[in-house]
Amino acid sequence: MASPDYTLPAPSLFGRFLANGMTHAIWAGDPLQQALYDAAAADPATDVLRSASGDAALAAAFGLQMGGCQPVVMMQNRALMNCLDTLRALRFDARIPMLVTATQFGREPENFGCDTVSSATSAVNCVEPGLEAVGIPYEILDRAEDLERVDACFAQARAAACPMVLLLGHPAA
CA distance 90 to 11: 28
Is residue 173 included in any domain, yes or no?
A: no
| Full residue range of the structural domain in which residue 49 is found | 10-168
d(CA 108, CA 57): 27
What is the total count of domains within the chain?
1
Extended beta strands in 62-137, E state:
71-76, 98-103
The predicted pLDDT at position 3 comes to 66
- What's the DSSP call for residue 103? E
125 in any annotated domain: yes
The 10 Å CB-count burial string (b at 16+, else e) for 84-122 is bebbbbbbeeeebbbbbbbbbbbbeeebbeeebeebeee
User: Does 115 fall in a domain?
Assistant: yes
pLDDT tens-digit readout, 72-102: 999 999 999 999 999 999 999 999 999 999 9
Which helix (H) or strand (E) is 123 found in, with range?
helix 122-125
The verdict on residue 2 lying in a domain is no
Is residue 40 in some structural domain? yes
The pTM (predicted TM-score) of the whole model is 0.93
Query: Quick check: is 72 in a domain?
Result: yes
Amino acid (1-letter code) at residue 22: M
Query: What distance in Å separates the CA atoms of residue 126 and residue 54, rounded to the nearest whole number?
Result: 17
pLDDT tens per residue, range 112-150: 888 888 888 888 899 999 999 999 999 999 888 999 999
Note whether residue 3 is domain-resident.
no
Mean pLDDT for the chain overall: 92
CATH of the domain at 116: 3.40.50.970
pLDDT > 70? residue 20: yes
- 57 found inside a domain: yes
